[in-house]
Amino acid sequence: MWLAVRKFASILLIGSNATEVLAEKLILAHAYRAEGNLEEAEKLQVQMVESCMNGPGETLHDTLMSMSELAATYILQGHFMEAEKVDLNVFNTRRMVFSKDHVDMLRGKENLEVTKRRLGRWTEAEKLHVQGSRARSAKFGESHPDTLASRENLASVYHYQGHWLKAKKVYEFLIQVRRIQLGEDHPNTLRNIDQLAAVYCSQGRWREEHSETVSSINRLAGNRTFSVKTHQVLSS
């Protein structure tokens, strides 16, 4: 499928105007990434960024979009320092142009959050996650999917840093909301229960983990079982 998309996009590049060329290069780069051809994707995306910066007809939106796509490819390649540099550039530019709760601003902050986590810079990641979570809550509401996803990421940052009580509080909130919105057996609800159980395990609170999670986690799928002792969901 992606091979056909790549061939089609390559043909379209011939004779297109600047805006169409950018869109078609974006499709082509996505096809390269889907095929696992990250070097070709990177090469094409670098060309896109350079073209946007130097071309008279390109907009700021085009430039920032191209840079974000390049950073995403760097992440897939494990080039986290390069990704951070690009994401930070995008974030700072958007901060000068957009309001704090603008969708593009929130997206840029989220990309930078992910990069900081990949680099193990948990304190910086936490700060960005807190800001992003508050902004989404104010813009979309406490129970909006984007807000919940942001809070879940924040809870994972708390967990990795050993901030058990903060992580526990967020996961309990997520479980409560998802039970109401999605039901007890929904995968998102069960995932959050599993994550809360991981916090209990990290604290050595085995009894609480067992009572809260085993019956729920074992409903995730028929070919997966939950191990209380090691707190892992294992494929059979």
Q: What is the pLDDT of residues 185-230, one digit of tens each?
A: 899 999 998 898 888 888 876 555 555 555 554 544 333 444 444 4
Q: How confident is the model at residue 1 (pLDDT cuts 50, 70, 90)?
A: very low
Q: How far apart are CA 83 and CA 118, in angstroms?
A: 10
| Residue, of 126 and 18, whose pLDDT is higher | 126
Q: Are 199 and 171 in contact (CB under 8 A)?
A: yes
Determine the straight-line distance between the first and last CA of the chain, rounded to whole angstroms. Answer: 31
- Classify residue 235 as exposed, middle or buried by CB count within 10 Å of its CB (0-12, 13-18, 19+): exposed
Half-sphere exposure of 199 (CA within 13 A, CB side): 23
Residue 63 has what pLDDT?
Answer: 87
The number of C-alpha atoms within 13 Å of 185 and in the hemisphere containing its C-beta is 3
User: Which is more confident, 209 or 169?
Assistant: 169
The pLDDT tens digits for 155-165 are 999 999 999 99
**Is pLDDT larger for residue 36 or for residue 213?**
36
Range with lowest mean pLDDT among 23-27, 31-35, 172-176: 23-27
pLDDT at residue number 204: 75
- Give the least confident one: 25-39, 64-78, 122-136: 25-39
Would you say residue 149 has pLDDT above 70?
yes
pLDDT digits (tens, 9 = 90+) for 121-135: 999 999 999 999 999
Flag the least confident range among 55-59, 170-174, 194-198.
55-59
Output DSSP code: residue 232: E
What are the start-end ranges of the H helices in the chain?
2-12, 18-34, 38-54, 60-77, 80-97, 103-118, 122-140, 145-161, 164-181, 187-203, 206-217
The pLDDT assigned to 197 comes to: 86
Per-residue pLDDT band at 4 (split at 50, 70, 90): very low
Residue 145 — pLDDT band, cuts 50, 70, 90?
very high
Domain map of the chain by residue range? 69-147, 162-236
Contact predicate 76/38, CB 8 Å: yes
Mean pLDDT over all residues of the chain?
81
pTM: 0.73
pLDDT confidence bin for 58, thresholds 50/70/90: low
pLDDT over 70 percentage in the chain: 76
